[in-house]
């Protein structure tokens, strides 16, 4: 059964006690906020449905009452005046939503008016919610026009930032932030995870560009307000600025309709809500619709991604390489940055196939792919180019750092002994490096130059890293 919560401000304890007793005897829940924060939370979180103020010359709650109705001008209210001063004050409370009383009315009449006002307040708020939901549905039509997952994430955060009037909005992809929330909570300060957070900036999509420090601040905000952990299945709103209808963070989970899977969270910083927080009540309804669409787009993306995965090694294939190189070239042109391509080939791999068989050769390729995957960042890309040729794309990496990475991989492969089908095998790699834009200006050119660099190394000694010149 729905609880009827009434905000009650009492400047006159004698009169107030009588009214409160009558209401509580009939099952109404009386709440007496001490400041604007508490009053706002009653409306936003707890669904308070009526405001009663017993005004008196003591003026204990007059300023709070004025602040409340600046934020909630259409909230149904009853005001009792006890004396000329309070009568003059209550003249400010104009409009059809404010009911001013000079004298106490009989209890039966009073309770009838309370029930009537609560009923009309519910109808009014439901109409506002319906209107806002329809408005959001119209404004969100663009979100349903794309089947590209990355585009959808970007459009999500732009939509939520606009609708909430927040400073920024983020799409937090499950990843390391999930570890911080689920397992690392309050074990060490968030700042102690700085290096790992820095690596996670690629798993966060923001409406306004953010740096690593801002990302760390976001996680810190979450831990400040959720000391026992992030409740993944709930919307969370945190108000901390006294006297303002503004909050520090609003967290909304994106949950699949069929799977119940949490695909991530929308985190909005410093949103500003409309009167009576209709937006706050409307957006969670939208999340159900958006969750269904996100689930559909994610399934489409998963199916599409499978066509980009090499069946043997689980690295990406050539089909995806072209897309990634185009994407990275575009990013470099926009941000004046760089990336490097490592083209590598197993030395004398044909001998392994000829002497040990193709099954052993295939398992050797799988073993190498695991080494490659373990030695690149989550922001980098690994590809099986074909046969025993592999290619790595190191994002935001120049030739000097790429050489360090390549040497590390070459050395680990050289030092490893691979036990395959009871046979111990040693192998080495030859690696060629080319960097965009230092060595190449196009997608095909950077592959060609890295390939030539690799063969230049092979022609010298094999088991070598060679940088294009």
Domain closes at, from 280, 304, 328:
304
152 vs 462: CA distance, rounded Å: 46
Give residue 108's domain range. Answer: 5-134
Q: Do 382 and 430 lie in a common domain?
A: yes
The full length of the chain comes to 469
72 vs 461: CA distance, rounded Å: 78
User: Considering Cα of 122, then 127, then 128, then 130, what sign does the dihedral take?
Assistant: positive
Q: Do 263 and 384 lie in a common domain?
A: no
The rounded Cα 180 to chain-centroid distance in angstroms is: 14
CATH of the domain at 98: 3.40.50.2300
Residue 236: what pLDDT? 58
Residue 203: what pLDDT? 56
Residue 273: what pLDDT? 59
Ramachandran region, residue 76 (left: φ > 0; alpha: ψ -120 to 50; beta: rest): beta
CATH of the domain at 261: 3.30.450.40
Low-confidence ranges of the chain (pLDDT < 70): 1-3, 44-45, 57-58, 60, 82-83, 86-87, 89-90, 93-96, 102-103, 173-204, 210-249, 272-280, 284, 303-305
Within a domain: 311: no
Domains held by the chain: number: 3
Q: Do 167 and 66 lie in a common domain?
A: no
Q: Do 14 and 121 lie in a common domain?
A: yes
Residue 241: what pLDDT? 42
Residue 181: what pLDDT? 44
**What's the burial of 122, exposed, middle or buried (CB within 10 Å: 0-12/13-18/19+)?**
middle
pLDDT digits (tens, 9 = 90+) for 126-159: 887 788 777 777 777 777 777 777 788 888 888 8
Residue 343: what pLDDT? 98
> How is residue 71 written in tokens?
């934020």
Q: Do 156 and 195 lie in a common domain?
A: yes
Within a domain: 313: no
Within a domain: 188: yes
């Amino acid at each position: 059964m729905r609880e009827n919560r009434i905000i009650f401000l009492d400047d006159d304890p004698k009169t107030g006690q009588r009214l409160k007793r009558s209401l509580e005897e009939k099952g109404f829940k009386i709440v007496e906020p001490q400041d604007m924060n508490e009053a706002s939370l009653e409306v936003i979180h707890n669904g308070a449905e009526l405001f009663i103020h017993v005004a008196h010359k003591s003026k204990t709650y007059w300023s709070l009452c004025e602040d409340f109705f600046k934020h909630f001008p259409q909230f149904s209210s009853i005001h009792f005046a006890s004396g000329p001063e309070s009568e003059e004050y209550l003249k400010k409370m104009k409009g059809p939503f404010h009911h001013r009383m000079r004298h106490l009315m009989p209890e039966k009449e009073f309770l009838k008016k309370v029930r009537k006002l609560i009923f009309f307040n519910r109808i009014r708020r439901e109409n506002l919610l319906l209107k806002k939901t329809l408005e959001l549905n119209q404004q969100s039509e663009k979100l349903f026009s794309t089947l590209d997952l990355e585009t959808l994430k970007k459009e999500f955060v732009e939509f939520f930032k606009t609708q909430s009037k927040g400073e920024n909005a983020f799409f937090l992809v499950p990843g390391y932030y999930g570890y911080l929330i689920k397992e690392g909570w309050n074990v060490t300060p968030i700042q102690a995870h700085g290096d790992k957070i820095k690596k996670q900036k690629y798993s966060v999509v923001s409406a306004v560009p953010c740096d690593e420090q801002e990302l760390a601040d976001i996680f810190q905000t979450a831990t400040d307000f959720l000391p026992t952990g992030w409740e993944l299945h709930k919307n969370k709103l945190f108000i901390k600025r006294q006297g303002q209808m503004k909050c520090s963070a609003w967290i909304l989970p994106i949950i699949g309709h069929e799977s119940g899977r949490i695909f991530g969270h929308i985190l909005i910083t410093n949103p500003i809500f409309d009167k009576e927080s209709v937006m706050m009540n409307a957006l969670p309804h939208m999340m159900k619709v958006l969750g269904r669409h996100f689930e559909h787009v994610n399934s489409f993306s998963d199916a599409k991604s499978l066509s980009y995965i090499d069946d043997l090694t689980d690295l990406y294939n050539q089909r995806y390489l072209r897309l990634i190189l185009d994407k990275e070239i575009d990013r470099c042109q926009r941000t004046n940055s760089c990336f490097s391509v490592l083209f590598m080939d197993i030395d004398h791999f044909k001998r392994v196939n000829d002497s040990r068989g193709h099954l052993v050769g295939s398992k050797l390729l799988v073993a190498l792919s695991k080494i490659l995957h373990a030695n690149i960042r989550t922001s980098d890309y690994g590809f099986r180019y074909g046969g025993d040729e592999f290619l790595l794309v190191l994002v935001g990496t120049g030739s000097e750092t790429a050489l360090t990475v390549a040497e590390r991989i070459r050395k680990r492969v050289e030092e490893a002994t691979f036990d395959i089908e009871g046979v111990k095998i040693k192998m080495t790699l030859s690696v060629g490096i080319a960097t965009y834009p230092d060595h190449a200006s196009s997608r095909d050119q950077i592959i060609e130059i890295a390939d030539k660099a690799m063969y230049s190394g092979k022609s010298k000694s094999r088991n070598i890293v060679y940088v294009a010149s």
